[in-house]
Amino acid sequence: MSTIEDLVDRLRGYLKPEEIQQVRRAYYFAEQAHDGQRRRSGEHYVTHPLAVATILANMHMDHQSLMAAMLHDVIEDTPVTKDALAKQFGETVADLVDGVSKLTQIHFEDKALAQAENFQKMALAMAKDIRVILVKLADRLHNMRTLGALRPDKKRRIARETLDIYSPIAARLGINTIRTELEELGFEGMHPMRYERLKRAVQSVRGNRKQVIREIQNALQTCIDEEELGGKVFGREKHLLSLYRKMRARRKSFSEVMDVYGFRIVTDKVDTCYRILGAIHNLYKPVPGRFKDYIAIPKANGYQSLHTSLIGMNGIPIEVQIRTREMESMANNGIAAHWLYKSEQEESAKGMTGASHARARQWVKGLLEMQQRAGNSLEFIEHVKMDLFPDEVYVFTPKGDIMELPSGATAVDFAYAVHTDVGNSCVAARINRRLSPLSAHLESGQSVEIITAPSARPNLAWLSFVATAKARSAIRHYLKNQQRAESVSLGKRLLNKALDAFDKQYDDIPKSQIEALLKEFQYETEQDLLDAIGLGNRMAFGVARALIGQEGNSAEQDPTPASTNNKLAISGTEGMVTSYARCCHPIPGDPVLGHISSGRGIVIHMDTCRNIADIRDDSNRCVPMDWSEGVTGDFTVVIRVEAEHQKGFIASLAALITEADANIEKITTEERDARLTMVNIEMGITNRVHLAKVMRRIRKLTNVNRITRARR
């Protein structure tokens, strides 16, 4: 078991004596604060913070991070307050501890919601100081190493959380050493039997592979030495979770996955990396399409390396990574490599620079943007999970800048990556200078240009194909605000219509009366009240009566809503709070009635629709409506055609409808008998005149017996 003296010996290699002394002070403070507390394993609790600090010391983290590691459970598990820590160890350490500390115990009905809330607050803490997440990762790593003392169900829950959240975060920050261990321990916790079987299988074949690995390694090393390139070749062990995922994703057997031999070549300069690549391509044949240059175009987490696949002697597949020593350190330690290479002038955590740190800050900034736009913590964590599993594609802006996007990204994702305003107003895209659909998947090397229009706005359908968290959260945020604006506008129209019965308008009502009503109905703002009316959650006539009732309750002031013949006009462009019933499919020209549906706004039905027959006279639930003169848009209608069997009839029918400028959405057929067929056609038309034109064309077909408009 490690002791504080073991840690101090390790710290002497890179910290100053006074900094080591502060770490020692933090340890003794934690030891005293946790006195009497024990872990599930029976060990003294202080062994946990000491182990967390040791993990960070292996990454050469600064003394403040180590102090925070020692004290990270003090605020939650002991009576010590943040102010007390600040007095003892300074504000920076106290803020770090506060950021890392587990949340105040909030009782959630749903564990998923609790996990989401935790991560949301962790993201906010990360924004203040990126070291928070490094301490948190070290804390999680030691907890995973000591899972053995827990119940099986708790093991699986913690392992799942580790694989879903913490391991991807470590990967996103480039800390490969922590990521791989978290994945291995998470795999063992989630699937202990699969882990053991795979582990034994790897151990059994390792002996058979040693000779082959040694021969390939010697051949590669000899090739590099003969060219005097100064690189060192290492064999690369495959991780169990990586093997397991490959077997499942590619549907390959264990022997097929283990047939590939991996090697890493580490050298001194970037130039030498490319020269080594040329030398080994001369030695073994490269596999076409399997070369990746992450040196010229690094991954989002700062990872740099050359990747190539070769066919070795006797047809053995070989995977080789070539990188410099600095890249090797970056691959293993990621953002933590910043502290490893920090110069004397960069001791202040606030003065941190470097590409890896800049990328991490950019990512956290993106997290905050998503957090502000997300409707709730579960939606936020859904976006973050999308962002944490990127298989990157690299595309170019029209100016030649490189943009990195996850695999499966579309032109809409690209537009939002450029800027949220560009995404919100995009209408089309040019990929490699050719017009392409916004839903087209992007591929590495393509040039993408976004065409925008001031009047454009995000489409709900975009959510079905966007791949980035930023695009998804921005679209949802915009649509929520848009729906709010539309429901407020509709709510005001409905309220004015109700107030017509009292010869009043909403703008005529004194502010004092409106404020009194808001207080009575428990709404904070007028917009909240109008939004509730527009969404159908509160009846407009009831609100109107409450407003007028404050002026008096005479019979003249309390008419029935039927006393007004005013009808709401439908323009066809109302947006998300007005919809058209799918039971009767009303179209411009039909007599219509609006049904106020809770949470959906107004659903427009035909006046004769059977589904609203029982409530059509209820003024609280139905609103008289009419079509405006300039109504625009496509409206869905269903027609039913009874025809005699004839070869090619459906094709002729479709051609006639298309010629009449109607858009076919769906066609279904059903046989009446051996002679007759019934065809149901769902199509988009503009009004009743357009529908009549389509039906006249269909009647001209000789085998059509009858054509009617279908209603449920």
User: Looking at residue 220, what is its pLDDT?
Assistant: 93
* 3-class SS string, 671-682: ECCCCEEEEEEE
The DSSP output letter for 38 is: B
| Beta-carbon contacts of residue 491 (< 8 Å; ≥ 6 apart) | 529, 530, 531, 532, 533, 534, 535, 540
User: Looking at residue 219, what is its pLDDT?
Assistant: 92
Between the two ends of the chain, the Cα-to-Cα distance in Å is: 76
Asked whether the predicted pLDDT for residue 32 surpasses 80, the reply is yes
More confident residue, 106 or 513: 513
Question: Model confidence at 555, in pLDDT bands (50, 70, 90)?
Answer: very low
The DSSP output letter for 271 is: H
User: Looking at residue 493, what is its pLDDT?
Assistant: 81
Q: Are strands 622-627 and 568-570 parallel, antiparallel or unpaired?
A: parallel
Distance, in Å, from the CA atom of 697 to the CA atom of 515, rounded to the nearest integer, reads 59
Secondary structure of residue 183 in the 3-state scheme: helix
User: Looking at residue 576, what is its pLDDT?
Assistant: 64
Question: Model confidence at 357, in pLDDT bands (50, 70, 90)?
Answer: low
Averaged pLDDT for residues 337-347: 46
Sheet strands (E) in 358-500 = 392-396, 402-406, 426-431, 434-436, 448-452
User: Looking at residue 254, what is its pLDDT?
Assistant: 80
User: Looking at residue 543, what is its pLDDT?
Assistant: 83
User: Looking at residue 276, what is its pLDDT?
Assistant: 94
Measured CA angle at 459 (ends 372, 437), to 5 deg: 120
Averaged pLDDT for residues 552-576: 55
User: Looking at residue 356, what is its pLDDT?
Assistant: 57
User: Tokens 């010590």, residue?
Assistant: 80
Question: Model confidence at 708, in pLDDT bands (50, 70, 90)?
Answer: very high
User: Looking at residue 21, what is its pLDDT?
Assistant: 93
Per-residue pLDDT reduced to its tens digit, 604-621: 999 888 888 888 888 778
Averaged pLDDT for residues 139-146: 90
Distance, in Å, from the CA atom of 302 to the CA atom of 306, rounded to the nearest integer, reads 13
Q: What is the mean pLDDT of the chain?
A: 81
| Beta-carbon contacts of residue 657 (< 8 Å; ≥ 6 apart) | 664, 681, 683, 694, 697, 698
Our CA dihedral for 33, 97, 142, 177, rounded to 10 degrees, sits at -150
Which of the residues are catalytic? 76-77
Q: State what percent of residues in the chain have pLDDT above 90.
A: 17
Q: Say which amino acid occupies 641.
A: V
Per-residue pLDDT reduced to its tens digit, 379-434: 565 555 555 555 677 788 888 777 878 888 899 999 998 888 899 899 889 998 88
More confident residue, 591 or 289: 591
Averaged pLDDT for residues 38-59: 87
Asked whether the predicted pLDDT for residue 651 surpasses 60, the reply is yes
Most confident range (mean pLDDT) of 346-355, 428-437, 598-607 is 428-437
User: Looking at residue 343, what is its pLDDT?
Assistant: 36
- The two tokens of residue 4 are 């504080």
Question: Model confidence at 358, in pLDDT bands (50, 70, 90)?
Answer: low
User: Looking at residue 528, what is its pLDDT?
Assistant: 85
- The two tokens of residue 373 are 């736009």
Averaged pLDDT for residues 545-549: 78
User: Looking at residue 353, what is its pLDDT?
Assistant: 38
Asked whether the predicted pLDDT for residue 347 surpasses 70, the reply is no
Question: Model confidence at 322, in pLDDT bands (50, 70, 90)?
Answer: very high
Asked whether the predicted pLDDT for residue 345 surpasses 50, the reply is no
Q: Which runs of consecutive H residues, i.e. helices, occur in 191-333?
A: 192-226, 240-250, 254-258, 270-283, 325-333
Per-residue pLDDT reduced to its tens digit, 244-276: 888 887 788 887 776 678 899 999 999 999 999
Q: Which pTM does this prediction carry?
A: 0.58
Per-residue pLDDT reduced to its tens digit, 474-519: 888 888 887 788 788 888 888 887 787 777 888 878 888 888 888 8
